[in-house]
């Protein structure tokens, strides 16, 4: 592992990091300051767990479902494929993914849409899998769908059918990644959710390590 090059694909969580319109924004302040004579600097934050890079728990879309502290670590750590769909719009089916270069269903799929809020602005829209495509990928072994945009569903969705398709099959998601640096290809992903009890989402520090291409 010595000399391994890591690519940080997490959005910086700070004042001004875009939240979903109407959600609680990130804010921070100081409880103690050494400049005021205290022994340490001590900060405090207020935020929705959906601001910045995060994993949704099933509780996000289903009352009584598993919460953030039950998110399984093995879904968020392991081999992953980054797929570049920056030229695409609207709903993406399996044929569209094949045309974009996805030759087989990976265990973890990260969609590089180019509509990331990590740039500092909440995007107007982004491409997303059809619910049927998400369900088919999960049936083929997909355990994690990551996106650099604010949701695995289209912005205007109210049913959140892609969320449901993932959770129905025992798969999970990552949202608000920063995929501006990594090119399409195979990687090792490390993106463990913070173990927050009984919430609907958990912040994540997501990192990629490039793997050799498989021919």
Catalytic-role residue among 50, 54, 60, 163: 60
Contact 182, 7 (CB under 8 A): yes
Surface-to-core class of residue 201, CB atoms within 10 Å of its CB (0-12 exposed, 13-18 middle, 19+ buried): buried
140, 202 contact by CB (below 8 A): no
Q: Which residues pair with 186 in a beta bridge?
A: 81
Give the 3-state secondary structure of residue 84.
strand
**150-182 per-residue burial string, b: 16 or more CB within 10 A, e: under 16:** bbbbbbeeeebbbbbbbbebebbbbbbbbbeeb
The alpha-carbon radius of gyration of the chain (Å, integer) is 18
User: Catalytic annotation on 60?
Assistant: yes
Catalytic (active-site) positions: 60
């Amino acid at each position: 592992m010595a000399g391994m090059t890591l690519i940080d694909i997490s959005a910086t969580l700070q004042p001004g990091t875009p939240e979903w319109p109407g959600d609680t924004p990130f804010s921070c302040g100081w409880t103690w300051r050494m400049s005021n004579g205290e022994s340490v600097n001590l900060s405090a934050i207020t935020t929705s767990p959906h601001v910045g890079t995060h994993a949704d728990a099933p509780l996000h879309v289903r009352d009584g479902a598993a919460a953030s502290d039950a998110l399984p670590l093995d879904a968020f750590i392991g081999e992953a494929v980054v797929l570049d769909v920056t030229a695409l719009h609207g709903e993406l089916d399996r044929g569209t993914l094949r045309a974009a270069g996805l030759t087989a269903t990976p265990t973890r799929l990260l969609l590089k849409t180019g509509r990331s809020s990590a740039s500092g602005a909440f995007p107007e829209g982004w491409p997303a899998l059809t619910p049927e495509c998400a369900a088919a990928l999960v049936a083929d072994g997909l355990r994690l769908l990551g996106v650099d945009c604010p949701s695995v569903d289209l912005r205007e969705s109210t049913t959140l059918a892609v969320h449901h398709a993932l959770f129905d099959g025992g798969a999970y998601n990552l949202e608000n990644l920063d995929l501006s640096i990594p090119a399409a290809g195979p990687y090792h992903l490390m993106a463990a959710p913070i173990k927050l009890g009984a919430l609907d989402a958990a912040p994540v520090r997501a990192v990629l390590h490039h793997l050799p291409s498989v021919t």
